[in-house]
Amino acid sequence: MGCYCTKETIEINGRRFYVQKRLGEGGFSVVDLVEDETGKTFAMKRILCHATEDEQMARQEAEFHQNFNHTNLIPLEEWKMLKYSGRVPEVVLVLPYYRGGTLQDEVERLAKQGEHMSEQRLMRIFKGICEGVRALHSASPEPLSHRDMKPGNVMLDDRGTPVIMDFGSMAVAKIEIKGRSQAVALQDTAAEKCSMLFRAPELFHVESHCIIDEKVDIWSLGCVLYTLAFLQSPFEPVYQRGDSLHLAVLGRNFKFPENSRYSEGLHDLVSSMLVVEPMERPSISWVMDRVDNLLQDLENRV
């Protein structure tokens, strides 16, 4: 352990954490690398709470973490609401620090080096992600939806196991929209918290009378699987051209590369999830059955 005399110190439940450096910044929070008194490192997410609503949402994020003890969902080490004199209060979440980075980091590394994942490794990673999503969709007393599934929100631990993080967009899965004001509110929230390239079509334009449910995650998973295979979102070319992403999503305006090295089964699985009508998308259990079948086929070829 180094000298902590000049480090910012944050005490939570009798434990002291020393801020080492800034790891990243987002629209609603920052993440610092911290170290406890034993020298163990963690990632500390610091959520600034400018209003009571911000505080409620941050507390809810911490509570969502506490609902789970799952290999593929990031655990919460500690959390606390911090109030200061003359400064905006913040909720801090102490989380594991994964040196392997995110799946997005892995995608960018592969693209830079002109490499690709083997289909077997890709499907094993995707299965782990689906395991985490299934835990959310099976949550009690009410199923939950992540709503921002993307490679940048999946960490890789030391063994290469995928771990879903960032519960800030998470919500009760099934929401009944009754009227235009509720629709606009959800649409605005989605625009703020759900990444465009992975956002389900029903969140681009929320109908005045509809039901939004966990199928938003299934669409996002389709985008994630495509990205792991082809190292970009299925709608990245449209976005790069500056064309309407919303129209591209509604029209399922994507295609598989002609020189794809992956099986027809993987292509079919992506296509089955990228269905515009939510009711026609499969459940996470159906997706996992298909993943297991694909993995079995791959192992039988070895």
Identify whether the C-beta of residue 253 lies closer than 8 Å to the C-beta of residue 242: no
The one-letter amino acid code at 168 reads: G
Active-site residue flag, 148: yes
E runs forming strands in the chain: 9-12, 15-25, 29-36, 41-48, 78-82, 90-96, 144-145, 154-156, 162-164, 171-172, 175-178, 209-212
Identified catalytic residue from 32, 36, 54, 148: 148
Q: Any idea which residue has 């992956």 for tokens?
A: 262
Classify residue 73 by its DSSP letter. B
Identify whether the C-beta of residue 110 lies closer than 8 Å to the C-beta of residue 104: no
CA 31/CA 45 separation, integer angstroms: 4
What is residue 249's three-state secondary structure? helix
CA 27/CA 33 separation, integer angstroms: 18
CA 96/CA 77 separation, integer angstroms: 7
What are the catalytic residues?
A: 148
